[in-house]
Structure 1
Amino acid sequence: MDEDLRADLIRWIAEDDETRERLARDGSLFAGYHPEMEAVHRRNAARLREVLARVGWPGRARVGEDGASAAWRIVQHAIGEPALLRGCLPLLQRAASEGEADPAEVAMLEDRIRVSEGRLQRYGTQFDWSEDGAAMVPMVGVEAPESLAERRAAVGLPPMVWRRPPPPGAAPPADLAARRAEMEAWARRVGWR
């Protein structure tokens, strides 16, 4: 076990969590991609790229369950880094097939990439505001919903909940159409589409 790398990964994702919690408390997290949050994500992405170049995917045997999950969360949050997410998906798939990563985390990364590219999700893990602003619903839809329960079960995800309550303290955007247009423009600008 590489305890130093494990500690680094956990520390990096803790910085992400602390920043997210602070920005959520004052409400600014929910008004687009906050520049401070983006800076944390980009810094962590750069750090993880160095780890990948040095040791490959940091799986459970190398960094423990919590360290491996921290590495996945760093990738999952690096939404402004399409090449990193796309490049890590096969690494994470291989790690999961070897018992070195959680298959549910692979599913969530795949869905994050698909949604960012404007494609249907496979597992229904990515949510956004409903049209009425009362709940969170799957973004862009889910392919083959009739077999969704089986796909989710196969990777260890719980049964699908189609409408969820919003995060604590989050308010729906005043203009959902404008927010979606802004998200689309951002996705094009950073290279998702």
Structure 2
Amino acid sequence: MDYKDLSETIIGLKNADLELRDKLVRKGQLGKGYSEEMAALHNRNAKLLDEIMDRIGYPTSDKVGKRASEAAWLVIQHSIGQPGFMKRSAKLLESAVREDKADPINLAYLTDRIAVLEGKLQLYGTQFDWDENGEMSPSPIDDMVKVNGRRKSIGLKPLEEQTRIMRRRMESENQLPPTDLEKRERQYDEWRASVGWIK
């Protein structure tokens, strides 16, 4: 079925997200904790997209068009305060990938993000964070020997190249490592517990 009437709605959710992100970058506030404004937007977007998915299932390109499908994925990827929604979306996306209706790279990113939020090891090395040396590095990976093979199998660049790209991006956005990494990690764990990622 064609649900292109919902395309503009989904694209609008993504645009609102990116506009707020750009605003935080310009103010030098991105990366200084999860801003209340951004958390509220992510939660609102997740609720609206969840209602759409109740109606149409995962918003694949054949239903809503490529731009809206990619926009839906970004909204899901950013809905970190909604564990149930993210996990439900991952299952729907996994089915869409099996049916060759969605990009396996999107599933890899979402699977890794959920793993990291749950305190587990990621499979594809798509998620990055500041390390103890003040560098942007991949979050822990289950198998450093196999990771590039997994990445290559779905069309991702080698992890080393992705790491260089991420570090350049941090520089271009003037993002700096936290001054107190232990405090940041404590706050992160408290936040994850508060929304239900960990106990």
Deviation at 1:50, TM superposition (A): 0.5
Deviation at 1:78, TM superposition (A): 0.3
| Paired position in structure 1 for 2:20 | 19
One-letter identity of the residue aligned with 1:173:
P
CA RMSD of aligned residues (A): 1.2
Q: Does 2:157 match 1:175?
A: no
In the TM superposition, 1:12-161 aligns within 5 A as: 12-133=13-134, 135-139=135-139, 141-161=140-160
State the Cα deviation string for residues 81-116 of structure 1 (Å, max 9, x = none). Answer: 000111111100111122221100000000000000
Deviation at 1:3, TM superposition (A): 2.6
More deviation, 153-162/8-17:
153-162
Contact 1:25 1:169 in 2 (8 A): no
One-letter identity of the residue aligned with 2:53:
L
Task: Give the Cα–Cα distance (whole angstroms) in 1 for the partners of residues 138 and 189 of structure 2.
Answer: 16
Runs of 4+ in 1 over 3 A off after TM superposition: none
Task: Give the Cα–Cα distance (whole angstroms) in 1 for the partners of residues 40 and 136 of structure 2.
Answer: 26
Unaligned runs of 5+ in 1: none
Q: Secondary structure at the match of 1:32?
A: coil
Q: Secondary structure at the match of 2:85?
A: helix
Unaligned runs of 5+ in 2: none
One-letter identity of the residue aligned with 1:30:
G
Contact 1:82 1:191 in 2 (8 A): yes
Task: Give the Cα–Cα distance (whole angstroms) in 2 for the partners of residues 118 and 106 of structure 1.
Answer: 18
TM-score (norm 1): 0.95
Contact 1:52 1:58 in 2 (8 A): yes
Task: Give the Cα–Cα distance (whole angstroms) in 1 for the partners of residues 41 and 154 of structure 2.
Answer: 29
State the Cα deviation string for residues 107-128 of structure 1 (Å, max 9, x = none). Answer: 0000000000000000000001
Q: Secondary structure at the match of 1:128?
A: strand
Deviation at 1:148, TM superposition (A): 0.9
Task: Give the Cα–Cα distance (whole angstroms) in 2 for the partners of residues 121 and 97 of structure 1.
Answer: 20
Q: Does 2:190 match 1:185?
A: yes
Fraction of identical pairs, as percent: 40
Task: Give the Cα–Cα distance (whole angstroms) in 1 for the partners of residues 182 and 143 of structure 2.
Answer: 26
Task: Give the Cα–Cα distance (whole angstroms) in 1 for the partners of residues 177 and 159 of structure 2.
Answer: 22
| Paired position in structure 1 for 2:5 | 4
Q: Secondary structure at the match of 1:145?
A: coil
